Structure 1
Amino acid sequence: FLFSDWMLSVGGFGRFQWIHVTLISLPGLLMASQNLLNNFTAGIPAHHCRILVNSTHYNLSNYEVPLLQVFIPLDASGTKLDRCRRYVQPQWQLLANGSANVSDAQTESCVDGWTYERTEFLSTIVSEWDLVCNLRPLKQMSQTVYMGGVLAGAIIYGGLSDRFGRRSVLIWSYFQVACLGSCSALSPSYSAYCIFRFLTGMAVSGVILNGVSLKVEWIPTKTRTLVGTLTSFFFTFGQLVLAGLAYWLRDWRKLQVVVCAPHFLCFAYSWWYSESARWLVLKQRSGEALKSLHRVARINGKPEMTEKITLEVLQSHMNKEIESSRSSYTAYDLLRTGGMRRISVCLLAVWFSTSFAYYGLAMDLQKFGVSIYLMQVIFGAVDIPAKFFALGMLTYFGRRVSQATCLLLSALIIFANIFVPSDMQTLRTTLACLGKACTSASFTTVYLYTGELYPTVIRQTGMGFASTMARIGSMAAPAVLILDEVFPALPSIVYGGAAVVAGGFACFLPETLNVPLPDTIEDVEDRCSRRKRAWP
């Protein structure tokens, strides 16, 4: 008698599951905002050195370019104003003769600061703290620091969840995002902003990982694929919400508050959640598990099951799992046995490459030469058909084939973009969108797949361990873009090559389509052993 049978006896996917899954999924509308927020809060407005003439500060929007050329030299391309230099003395002769030779004119750095264009962004951390020219690497550093927080959160909150429960850590994570995320908007300095973003990233990891596990552990086997894929649309629609909010507000402090403060509401209603009955049973808290099952039965319209499911019945049917869970587990147990080791190593490769390619494409929207808000909408919209593609693949071909196919398709598209000339910007952008769609489908698959592969006793530790590599991938992705100075196609070769390798690793993962969730490490090893014996 498996735990999945208990789920069916208390109503299967009933009213409780609908409410439970919806409430846990709602914050996904804002999780996309957190991960992609840097595109807008750290957007780089058009700028040039501040001009001082007769003690008057001149603003870019007040001048025609020919007049500005009196004060600002052209950049290396000869078509745009230099962003980091100005003439020591104004070159007034350029007004009479625009082609006058000023190559010998002395220039200096922007000692009086910069003037920023206010049309695309009213305010960003770049314009607030002058993160341009020599300080430009600090723009991307803020995203790296945030992803470092997500990485730390995956490690810390994954272990805490297996020890103290999914519900408790999830509730705390909501509160941490709401408080510290909102505090980011009040940051008096760049350093303070990075600290708050790091702590917010930790909490975001807690929300995502615990939300996934708490949903999966209350969903019957047959409906996991459909529910897991459909709930991922909250993240997709969140990307569209982010584009709308950023376009409306255009101020990084206001945007920061708007995407973080709603988590106070999530914190308020999250007390309604029921702790995972699976986890409670395996932690020798069968009395609390029984209360949770009775509560679910009543909400699902099965009150008669409260009489049939007693403590004695529950313990007798789950005795094997209870005995197996008496020892404590650590991250070492993810690699201790053969089956767990193979799953963990393969998942590390899949998570790293998926995140590596995804954020390599999604975190530099200004390079496409069109409105950053429009690009965010396009990149969000392509996720919709990608998720339906993933749903069809997961339902009819299973997890392993879906995971490998998504990774190999993304690699193929990334490689194809190498051969498209740079002046064919529309085609390059289209291929980038298709590549992003494939990596998005890969993300949808791996979140569901990982939750199904790891056993309940160590599921959160496993989720945290695997997603740690995703955070390393997201931190490494922007750094790889620097390689285009060595060879323009090199970043694409690295992104695509990583996806090919991960697609190979995915082929060695066991299939979990319509398979009950494993509760103990022994369950995983038994399934791996049966799979080996089934091979000729």
Structure 2
Amino acid sequence: MAFEELLNEAGGMGKFQILQLFLVLPPVMILACHILLENFTAAIPGHRCWVHILDNDTIIYIPLDSNLKPEKCRRFLHPQWQLLHLSGTFPNVTDLDTEPCVDGWVYDQSFFSSTIVTEWDLVCDYQFQKSVAQFLFLAGMLVGGLIYGHFSDRFGRKLILRWCLLQLAISGTCTAFAPTFLIYCLLRFWSGCSAAVIITNNWMLTIEWTRSQSKAMVIALITSAISIGQIILGGLAFAFREWRTLQLVISIPFFVFFVSSRWLVESARWLIITNKPEEGLKELKKVAHRNGIKMMKATMQEELEAARTKTTLFDLFRTPILRRRMCLLSFVRFASIIPFYGIFINLQYFGSNIFLFQVIFGALTALARYLALLSLNHVGRRPSQMFFMYLLGLSILCNTFVPQEMQTLRVTLASVGITFAAASTTSFSVHYDELVPTVLRATALGLDIVASRSGSSVAPLLMTLAVYLPTLPWIIYAVSPILAGLVVFFLPETRNLPLFDTIQDVRNKEGFVPDPSWLPLVPWLVSI
């Protein structure tokens, strides 16, 4: 491929690429805070009904639950003065008249001074509204990924990225001053629309300037930035316990990122493919100069011929090869992201110290990215994904049948699961990027975001099945990555191959050629 030769001539991994990474990684880190923000800003503290008179004597106003703690959503219809004379024994009070918390709630402020739950009373009959807020942010990522992904292929990666950075800075800052829950939800949706594109466009502006041999390492660095962002969020949430302050702290930096993004360099691959060869050559010469290389004149005939044909979203499905590939990739992304979010959005399920869990899980996922990098470089794309996805499914399946009393073992298995989940998503991201052509990469990544956000939206909804069988959601979390691992087998291997630039490149290089070095593993993987 001509561009790969041009890139190697300009320097496929040098000072320029390091500077590009330096500009790309910080916004990705802080963006991870936005994605997982409502683990803290929407945390549900301990609560009980508020009463007007003698609120400290809760025993006469609030019934006790099975753990002898005040009920969260009910209070006595009339004060039960006789309960004051009890000495350590509590009679059956189920026959006494109770009513909902008509005057509001009293919240435990030992962990958070304020959350959106305490501000707008999203508890008891209104608790579902918290899930609505989380869903709208994820829905925004889905919609924004699809729309802005198409715009990125049409107007350029850098232009759309800069717009989304500014959009998130404004919407995130305004969210911190939202006067009502409705406005809060709308602003979070607007933030979500830009969030997905900030990751994908930063991703493309780095990968499309990187030589084939270094792509896996660069992707591992970018995904590790997400893990570091998770650790940062745990620290910031511990320091800023008021939700509006935390929201503001992670939104203001995007004004700085918007300014610094002007030094990013547009993808020369995209410029050449979209019939802008002069601009593409100019950027290549700039990169060569920064890398200290004197670039020689080389041919671009292949890219110029490919640039004469404009592409759309439908081109991903018009060609049988790409259609089959996109369907398989979308299923794998959907099925593998379900357990990842299933674990991350249920931090309170593992214990009360969610700050510590956030930091631990972030550190483990960062370690997992480098584990994935080693496997990708030495074993290959397909076997790495299959191995990590099978281990993820098995770890969740084991955790499903561990008794609730064994919290240490449950947290350990969850930590193992989140490690393999991060390794599998990193492996898949590398493989995905190498299987779609440059001319449609942003559009394809937009479709990938749709599959990803669909999976992440399904993850919390599956927890509603627990009313029928408590282990059912976790069984589904375990089975989905195992199915995804089987599907990966039908995708071609791409280790050490150059990126596809055109649809014709995909046609020329298509062919399912199993790697004989790992085929003996298939019967074992299927057997487990």
Which residue of the partner structure matches residue 61 of structure 2? Answer: 71
Deviation at 1:331, TM superposition (A): 1.9
Aligned match of 2:33: 33
Alignment equivalent of 1:370, drawn from 338, 352, 361: 352
Residue number in structure 1 paired with 2:85: 96
CA distance in 2, matches of 1:451, 1:380: 24
What residue is the counterpart of 1:439 in the other structure?
421
Taking the TM superposition and a 5 Å limit, the aligned residue runs for 1:18-167 are: 18-53=18-53, 58=55, 63=56, 67-75=57-65, 77-97=66-86, 98-167=89-158
Give the TM-score normalised by structure 1: 0.93
Structure 1 CA distance for aligned equivalents of residues 427 and 287 of structure 2: 28
The answer (yes or no) to whether the contact 2:24–2:202 under 8 Å persists in 1 is yes
Q: Work out whether 1:528 is the aligned partner of 2:528.
A: no
Note the residue ranges of structure 2 that are not aligned, 5 or more in a row. Answer: 517-528
Contact in 2 for aligned 1:212/1:451 (Cα 8 Å): no
Match of 1:338 among 320, 324, 342: 320
Q: Which residue of 1 aligns with 2:214?
A: 223
Shift, 1:385, TM fit: 2.5
SS at match of 1:395: helix
Following superposition, the deviation at residue 370 of structure 1 comes to 3.0
Read off the aligned partner of 1:83 and give its amino acid letter.
K
Partner of 1:198: 189
How far off is 1:289 after superposition?
Answer: 0.7
Pair 1:473-2:455 in alignment: yes
* Map of 2:492 onto structure 1: 510
The 5-angstrom pairing of residues 157-306 of structure 1 reads 157-302=148-293, 304-305=294-295
* Superimposed CA distance per residue, residues 57-113 of structure 1 (whole angstroms, 9 cap, x where no aligned partner): x4xxxx5xxx322211012x2432111111122222222114245333221111111
Deviation readout 1:452-491 (Å, 9 max, x if unpaired): 1110110011111122111001111001011111111100
Aligned residues: 515
- Paired position in structure 1 for 2:521: none
1:352-373 CA distance string (max 9 Å, x none): 1222111111001111123111
The within-5 A match list for 1:320-359 is 320-359=302-341
Residue pairs, 1:376-525, within 5 angstroms: 376-525=358-507
Does the residue aligned with 2:312 lie in a helix, a strand or coil? coil
Distance 1:270 1:104 in 2: 65
**Contact persistence 1:338–1:525 (CA under 8 A):** no
CA offset digits 1:188-245 (Å, max 9, x no partner): 1111011100010010011011111111100111111112212322111111100010
Cα deviation for residue 154 of structure 1 reads 1.1
Which AA in structure 2 matches 1:94? L
Q: Could you say if the C-alpha distance between residues 18 and 524 of structure 1 is closer, same or farther in structure 2, counting changes exceeding 3 Å?
A: same
1:4 paired residue number: 4
> How many Å separate the matches in 1 of 2:245 and 2:37?
12
Distance 1:116 1:7 in 2: 59
| Conservation of the 8 A alpha-carbon contact between 2:28 and 2:225 | yes
The 3 A distance-change label for structure 1 pair 100 and 489 is: closer
**Deviation, structure 1 residue 524:** 0.7
Asked whether the 8 Å contact 2:73–2:100 carries over to 1, the reply is yes
- What code does the residue aligned with 1:25 have? L
Taking structure 2 as the reference length, what is the TM-score of the superposition? 0.94
When residues 96 and 161 of structure 1 are mapped into structure 2, their CA distance, relative to the original with a 3 A threshold, is: same
Amino acid aligned to 1:158: G
Equivalent residue of 1:382, what SS? helix
More off after superposition, 393-402 vs 1-10:
1-10
**Per the alignment, in what secondary structure is the counterpart of residue 48 of structure 2?**
strand
Shift of 1:388: 2.1
CA distance in 2, matches of 1:12, 1:205: 26
Report the CA distance between 1:447 and its aligned residue.
Answer: 2.0
CA RMSD after TM alignment = 1.8
Q: Distance in 1 between matches of 2:48 and 2:408?
A: 29
Give CA deviations for 1:268-301 in whole Å, capped at 9, x if unaligned. Answer: 0101111100110111111111110111111111
Amino acid at match of 1:42: A
Using the aligned pairs only, state the percent identity.
Answer: 41
* Amino acid in the other structure paired with 1:212: W
Following TM superposition, the consecutive aligned residue runs of length 4 or more in structure 1 with deviations greater than 2 angstroms are 77-80, 98-105, 529-532
SS where residue 250 of structure 2 aligns?
helix
